[in-house]
Structure 1
């Protein structure tokens, strides 16, 4: 696997005379799970899009390993809040299509094998031949996760992937994401506006100020050992409460 360090070097983003993102520098180390947390419109998704190679900074640069990002690449997999599945393809077909696009060197039988393996990992073997219209919102997002992991990216980018789901489905998918991530230790950058989600998932939380002139105003390490359950009376409940209040204070001020 190639070096999966993400380096954001003095980037800005402007539209006309309005600076959405002021000079911002961040490094996400190889194998880290980092959440970008901030209010709506602060530029979180814009930064993620830059790492994906779907948009570009007005000044500065974004790199994956030693390479400046100039467009999308198979080293980066993206999961959107809207699952972005092709409606005319089955769950398996969507994963195979992603593989065909990102890994053209794979044969059709290899693509089918990999798609089958990832459907098993996200507990969707029974729904392999269903089209998205016959899948629940949570199942559609699991297909999206499987598609992103299947291309074997060194960097996984998640843009509020669970934001549109009910609380129970969201928690189930958060835990499933952690299980898959802990087995492979990809570098993950995830956008969220949910403090609880950031504390549950991340090694570090980067808090952004509101736009215009948004930037990262705090880099908070989540020093609670995994697994981090909801038990408010557990051994680390006090530290979790401190982190929650610290993040909320930063968001409010």
Structure 2
């Protein structure tokens, strides 16, 4: 399977302070890859490089065989902070993103696409509400719907569930899996959560502590898909127990 996202010998420094030491990553088309590591190791910085919001000090970043020179419609991003426009409704926020990323759609088509993805995240009833009238979990659902609606080839998730309570977090993880299973876009997700990385991912890239952090392990998640259900059921939990232990050990010992 061809590499869809490639970071080749990248580093990131601010003056004399090196955040990311020389690091290379290749992600195949359609893979769901999590980047797991401690705070300050450069996980979000790498995601920003792929998004075209930041650039490596040395090395190159490419997507679809093309160098990343800035943001583009082939990449959609979901932040921990939903980043919704407060004066627009849930539907309006998605339509605004569509107007920029998919200018070929007319107004009626933008509304249809927005409503489709709001329905997929369980918010058809809230399309007319502004962010101030939505809970944190609902706001994040809108952010996920907006990212999928623009139909990017690559989806970048920067701790999208980090600010949510455990129950809402699991519900959104499973909704994300449902949408991803239907489309199989290439996904890179930054997370601190070992169980989240295991549940969602095909591969987990573990980063060491900073400064001068780099990827210290690239681990396949061999548990079968689809991974639906109410959290970790007994069978899935047994399948991944060894993997969970290994990831926790890597995070604690590096």
TM-score by length of 1: 0.96
Contact in 2 for aligned 1:77/1:148 (Cα 8 Å): yes
Please say if 1:169 is aligned against 2:162: no
Q: How many residues align?
A: 250
Please state how far the C-alpha of 1:225 moved relative to its aligned partner. 1.0
CA gap of 1:64–1:131, structure 2 versus 1, over 3 A, is same
Instruction: Describe the superposition over 1:89-141 as per-residue Cα deviations: whole angstroms up to 9, x where unpaired.
Output: 00000000001111122211111111111111111110000000000111101
Contact in 1 for aligned 2:3/2:26 (Cα 8 Å): no
The Cα RMSD (Å) is 1.3
User: In 2, Cα distance between the equivalents of 1:128 and 1:18?
Assistant: 46
Please state how far the C-alpha of 1:232 moved relative to its aligned partner. 5.8
Contact in 2 for aligned 1:4/1:187 (Cα 8 Å): no
Match of 2:86 in 1: 87
3-state SS in 1 of match to 2:140: helix
Match of 1:249 in 2: 249
Match of 1:233 in 2: 234
Contact in 2 for aligned 1:159/1:190 (Cα 8 Å): yes
- 1:1-253 alignment runs, 5 A limit: 5-226=4-225, 227=227, 230-231=231-232, 233-234=234-235, 236-253=236-253
Q: Which shifted more, 105-114 or 121-130?
A: 105-114
3-state SS in 1 of match to 2:211: coil
3-state SS in 1 of match to 2:234: coil
User: In 2, Cα distance between the equivalents of 1:218 and 1:182?
Assistant: 26
3-state SS in 2 of match to 1:214: coil
User: In 2, Cα distance between the equivalents of 1:214 and 1:167?
Assistant: 29
Please state how far the C-alpha of 1:233 moved relative to its aligned partner. 3.5
User: In 2, Cα distance between the equivalents of 1:29 and 1:231?
Assistant: 26
Please state how far the C-alpha of 1:239 moved relative to its aligned partner. 3.5
Contact in 2 for aligned 1:4/1:154 (Cα 8 Å): no
TM-score by length of 2: 0.96
Contact in 1 for aligned 2:174/2:228 (Cα 8 Å): no
Instruction: Describe the superposition over 1:142-188 as per-residue Cα deviations: whole angstroms up to 9, x where unpaired.
Output: 10000000000010000000000000000000000000000000000
